[in-house]
A and B are shown apart, each in its own frame.
Chain A
Amino acid sequence: KQEVTQIPAALSVPEGENLVLNCSFTDSAIYNLQWFRQDPGKGLTSLLLIQSSQREQTSGRLNASLDKSSGRSTLYIAASQPGDSATYLCAVHSIGANSKLTFGKGITLSVRP
């Protein structure tokens, strides 16, 4: 059974800091891994998707990496801003799981002005 872990559960950093959010998973047989952002009381917004054959994806100040062999992904946020404050969720789409995404519990990020 796939399990996805995100540690720590919460993180507070000063504005301008570069930061890394970690995600680990137990089964490397995956189609892809997706990072989402969720603002309080809102839905999930897809940030980046990394296919199983890829090592990283970039969008603006965000860079996500994937190491299937070690079961790890990281989301790098450059020059953090207060507007980056949100919960970041990692989700793994496992092969043979019939469309099931397995989510981590998320990391709640607070960027202090």
Chain B
Amino acid sequence: NAGVTQTPKFQVLKTGQSMTLQCAQDMNHEYMSWYRQDPGMGLRLIHYSVGAGITDQGEVPNGYNVSRSTTEDFPLRLLSAAPSQTSVYFCASSPLDREFYGYTFGSGTRLTVV
């Protein structure tokens, strides 16, 4: 059981480039979300999804796009990378019955924008 898989683990981008961070889960979880972790700021929610075809914004959505075409996948797209998007990105998933089950996190993608 792989859980939540994120790719790539590391990435360096030039300012203005675009890229997609991949996230896949094999637990049939309805909820999926993206967080970024920055020193002194903790983890902040970027976007989330409550099921295929449904997405919504979190605290810090600007500069990012998401879509959810399948239950398993929830990619995060950086439209035009900026140095301020240098961060560690985590994908997380949770089942529908969320009172009884917590979140499972991926191992993260460390992104540097130069």
Contact = CB atoms under 8 A, between A and B. Distances in A.
Interface of A: 31-32, 34, 36, 41-46, 49, 51-52, 89, 91, 93, 98-101, 103-106
Interface of B: 31, 33, 35, 40-43, 45, 48, 50, 56, 58-59, 90, 92, 94, 98-108, 110
A21 B35 CA distance: 24
Contact of A43 (B41, B59, B108): B108
B46 to A, nearest CB: 11
Nearest to A47: B102
A9 B24 CA distance: 32
Contacts of B94: 99
A99 B90 contact: no
Contacts of B59: 100
Contacts, number: 62
B105 A98 contact: no
A103 B102 contact: no
A32 B28 CA distance: 21
Given A98-B48, A98-B50, A100-B58, A49 B40 contact: no
Given A99-B94, A104-B42, A44 B99 contact: no
A51 B50 contact: no
B99 A32 contact: yes
